[in-house]
């Protein structure tokens, strides 16, 4: 059934609902860029009842729903991370000799030697012989469990990129580019870091898919400095959002802003179907693009709408203020003074 233009979702608005329903209501071939960060399957509040299979099918459905609404030659940018603590019941327990944390000097070799000399000794007898606890005997022989409690399901790293690459290809969208976003190191999320050899969580990906068609390449979208600093660079260093008080998984404004500047023109339509606190829409407003945002949580929809109202208001106000200042400066023929960076003294 072909919808009439009035049936499509009007732009410059945030919608409440499941994006699998609402993406179908966006005008076909109208979107210049879709930027989003889906649930990561890491146990956030808004994904707590979702199984791994449901999560995968959410992603593949949403990616597939993009094909009809993207303009030919347009892009879909997905910000996502690998799952660092993926539970796997079939995984053997991680065994480790945690040398630096040892309180008792007995080594595995000493216990094996004692066992050889007394093959009929159980661990209690071996403990008595060596002057340590039976727990030490057990630890040295059977290893420590690096993560979580002894009886918890083991976790491993799950790579996500390959899966979503395939989902894109199935939908007719091709991976055009990928960038790495280096965020703040999340030490607090790595409660195991002192007893493991693993790295902390400090980077994510941006996968950029392309819908076949003619893509406009306009080098003047960025300044020379922007091309040098991030436009042509595969690694983006952008600090994380510190105040995640109203939404637990915001990405920084700079992330969608860069994608919008790089991949779209003024007045283009940018969408985010996992809008959360409204970051992508705010970036679109600031860069003079139209937007559509969707979220399935009512409070986030309100939050995003509020952020958009503020962004529009601020930009108008800022514009008026700078116009007024420029007028005054022009009248008195004064050139704007360059801002001088304050000197920073090292803390004593
Ligand atoms: C990682 S957060 C996005 C945060 C956002 N980028 C920001 O800066 O605030 C994912 C969002 O997707 C929403 N969400 C999850 N499943 C959804 C679905 N099926 N339809 C629409 N929104 C959904 C969640 O409520 C959450 O706000």
Domain 98-142 fold = Arc Repressor Mutant, subunit A (1.10.10)
Which is more confidently placed, 128 or 225? 225
Q: Which of 1-5, 39-43, 194-198, 315-319 has the highest mean pLDDT?
A: 39-43
Q: Give the model confidence (pLDDT) of 53-77 as tens digits.
A: 999 999 999 999 999 999 999 999 9
From 243, 257, 296, the mutation candidate for ligand 1 (largest count of ligand atoms within 8 A of CB) is 296
CA of 300 to the centre of ligand 1 (A): 8
- What is the Cα–Cα distance from 206 to 176, expressed in whole angstroms? 11
In this predicted structure, the answer to whether residue 116 has a pLDDT above a threshold of 50 is yes
Give the rounded percent of residues in the chain with a pLDDT score beyond 70.
Answer: 80
Interval between CA 39 and ligand 1 midpoint (Å): 6
pLDDT band per the 50, 70, 90 thresholds, residue 119: very high
pLDDT at 331: 59
Ligand 1 pocket test target in 274, 277, 293, 304 with most atoms within 8 Å of CB: 274
DSSP 163-218: HHHHHHHHHT-EEEEEEEEE----GGG-TTGGG--PPP--EEEEEEEE-SS-----
Q: Report the distance separating Cα 96 and Cα 13, nearest Å.
A: 53
Q: What is the pLDDT of residues 209-225, one digit of tens each?
A: 999 999 999 999 999 99
Q: Which of 16, 21, 39, 283 to mutate to test the pocket of ligand 1 (most atoms within 8 A of CB)?
A: 39
CATH of 5-83+158-331, one of 1.10.357.10, 3.60.20.30, 3.40.50.150, 3.30.70.20: 3.40.50.150
CA 336 remoteness from chain centre = 39
Confidence of residue 318 (pLDDT cuts 50, 70, 90): low
User: Is residue 165 over pLDDT 70?
Assistant: yes
Its pTM stands at 0.79
Tell me what the mean pLDDT of segment 262-280 comes to. Answer: 98
pLDDT for position 329: 63
State how far the Cα of 155 lies from the Cα of 145, in Å rounded to an integer.
11
Q: What residue spans define the domains of the chain?
A: 5-83+158-331, 98-142
Q: What is the pLDDT of residues 138-151, one digit of tens each?
A: 888 877 554 445 66
How many angstroms separate the alpha carbon of residue 152 from the centre of ligand 1?
29
> CB atoms < 10 A from the CB of 280, how many?
34
Residue 333 structure tokens = 């023929």
Phi first, then psi, for residue 190 (nearest 5°) are: -115, 65
| Crossing angle of helices 161-171 and 52-69, rounded to 10° | 40
Percent of residues in the chain assigned helix, strand, coil, to nearest 5: 40, 20, 40
Give distance in angstroms: CA of 126 to centre of ligand 1.
56
């Amino acid at each position: 059934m072909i919808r009439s233009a009035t049936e499509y979702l009007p732009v410059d608005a945030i919608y409440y609902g499941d994006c699998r329903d609402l993406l179908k209501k966006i005008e076909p071939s109208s979107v210049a860029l879709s930027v989003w960060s889906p649930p990561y399957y890491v146990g956030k509040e808004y994904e707590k009842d979702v199984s791994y299979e449901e999560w995968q099918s959410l992603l593949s459905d949403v990616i597939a729903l993009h094909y009809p609404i993207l303009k030919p030659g347009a892009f879909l940018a997905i910000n996502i991370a690998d799952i660092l603590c993926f539970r796997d019941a079939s995984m053997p327990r991680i065994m480790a000799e945690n040398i630096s944390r040892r309180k008792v000097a007995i080594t595995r070799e000493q216990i094996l030697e004692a066992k050889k000399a007394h093959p009929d000794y159980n661990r209690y007898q071996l403990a008595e012989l060596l002057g340590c606890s039976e727990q030490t005997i057990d630890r040295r022989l059977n290893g420590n469990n690096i993560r979580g409690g002894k009886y918890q399901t083991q976790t491993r790293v799950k790579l996500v990129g390959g899966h979503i690459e395939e989902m894109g290809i199935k939908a007719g969208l091709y991976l055009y580019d990928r960038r790495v976003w280096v965020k703040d190191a999340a030490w607090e999320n790595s409660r195991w870091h002192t007893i493991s050899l693993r790295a902390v969580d400090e980077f994510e990906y941006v996968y950029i898919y392309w819908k076949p068609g003619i893509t406009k390449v306009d080098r003047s979208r960025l300044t020379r400095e922007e091309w040098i600093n991030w436009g042509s660079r595969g690694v983006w260093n952008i600090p994380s959002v510190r105040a995640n008080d109203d939404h637990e998984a915001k990405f920084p404004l700079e992330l969608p802003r860069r994608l919008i500047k790089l991949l779209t023109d003024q007045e283009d339509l940018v969408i985010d179907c996992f809008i959360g606190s409204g970051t992508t829409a705010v970036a679109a407003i600031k860069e003079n693009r139209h937007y559509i945002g969707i979220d399935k949580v009512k409070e986030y929809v309100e939050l995003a709408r509020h952020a958009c109202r503020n962004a529009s208001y601020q930009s108008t106000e800022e514009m008026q203020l700078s116009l007024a200042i420029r007028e005054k400066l022009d009248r008195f023929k004064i050139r704007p003074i360059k801002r001088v960076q304050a000197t920073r003294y090292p803390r004593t």
